[in-house]
Amino acid sequence: MALVYSPEYLEHNTPNHPESPDRLTKIMEGLDEADLTDNIPIFNPYMAKEEDLVRVHTADHVEKIRKFCERGGGCLDFDTYASPQSYEIAKLAAGGGIKASELVLGRFNTAYALIRPPGHHATRERAMGFCLFNNLAVALEHARKVRKVKRFAIFDFDVHYGNGTAHIFYNDPDVLYISIHQDPHTIFPSEGFLEDMGGGEGKGSNLNIPLSPGSGTSDYIYILERILRPVFKDFNADFYFFDVGFDSHQDDPLSSMRLDDDFFEWMDIEILNQSRPRVLTLEGGYDLDALKRCNLKMINVLKEETIEHSQISLEMSEVREETKYILQRIEDNFSPFYRF
């Protein structure tokens, strides 16, 4: 595996904000303490060009972010902040996804882009939810237009629905977007319901798994074991993207979910069970100690390419009835498209 990282990401300065430079500092601290920075190749990101950005975003949106930062930055909305350097750093974040994609189209099986600002809430024409540009979407369109990759699968396990990514590819039959997230009735961005299944030729390519607050590792494993493998198999993508969020962790201050550290090791093994190429992009996670521990767990699994699950016991008694009901509804809604 390979990592993509630059200390320049710390220059996206967000004072008194949960999406802070400390997030990446803490992750890199954990890798240093485990001597992994000497054992895993770390690559500098590309700087995304305007032509990369406008494959996804409107030219007006790109120009708005550039001018806003040139004028000194500030609050773009109630929770999205940009500093004077943020336009350039956001291009570097989008370019980190491109760099990771190029690495896995070369000699690496997996690449993990440790980037910020995050991206999955950014729509074609709007920055929101801490996100300026949609890093994953920019990387995907580069792989499609420049490297001629045809078919993509995205799995987003941030606690928040990636509304920007979903909107951008909602009508696209060649991009499967699966998201597991906290029930949107209870959390930002109040989108991502079971009935949002994709539109037009893309009907069936947007699959949402909204879980109730308090859902834990047993709920996640129960439902993902029954959805990811059959859906990925039927869709038969050429390229896999994973939007990695750690804000469903039980220690995270911005959510009400109950995942423990072991889930992220389990999730990594599921990632490795998909064929290459595989790219991971960092999204949320705001408890610094949990972010450090869980990233270290994930990166160790990716490095070793261990594909056997450790002894994580799935206690069926701990699986909520709401989770079983959601699975049944997903199977009913998507049975015309996938064989569960």
165-205 residue pLDDT tens = 999 999 999 999 999 999 999 999 999 999 999 999 999 99
Token couple for 45: 């990101």
Catalytic hit among 12, 57, 61, 121: 121
pLDDT band at 304 (very low <50, low <70, confident <90, very high): confident
Is 109 domain-assigned?
yes
Is 186 domain-assigned?
yes
| Interval 47-70: pLDDT, tens | 999 999 999 999 999 999 999 999
Q: What range does the domain containing 34 cover?
A: 2-334
Q: What is the pLDDT of residue 314?
A: 64
Domain harbouring 251, CATH code: 3.40.800.20
Token couple for 331: 């199977």
Is 339 domain-assigned?
no
223 close to 155: Cβ distance less than 8 angstroms: no
pLDDT band at 318 (very low <50, low <70, confident <90, very high): confident
Is 160 domain-assigned?
yes
Q: With CA atoms as reference, report the closest residue to 19 among 166, 120, 138.
A: 120
What region, left, alpha or beta, does residue 73 occupy, with left being phi > 0 and alpha being psi -120 to 50 degrees?
left
| Interval 228-256: pLDDT, tens | 999 999 999 999 999 999 999 999 999 99
Q: What is the pLDDT of residue 307?
A: 66
Q: Is pLDDT of 147 > 80? A: yes
Token couple for 281: 């992009």
Is 227 domain-assigned?
yes
Is 10 domain-assigned?
yes
Q: Is the peptide bond before 21 cis (omega within 30 degrees of 0)?
A: no
Cα–Cα distance for residue pair 1/61, rounded to 1 Å: 34
Q: Is pLDDT of 312 > 80? A: no
Is 340 domain-assigned?
no
If one counts the domains in the chain, the total is: 1
Q: Is pLDDT of 317 > 80? A: no
The pTM of the full predicted model, rounded to 2 decimals, is 0.96
Amino acid at 149: V
Q: Is 309 a catalytic residue?
A: no
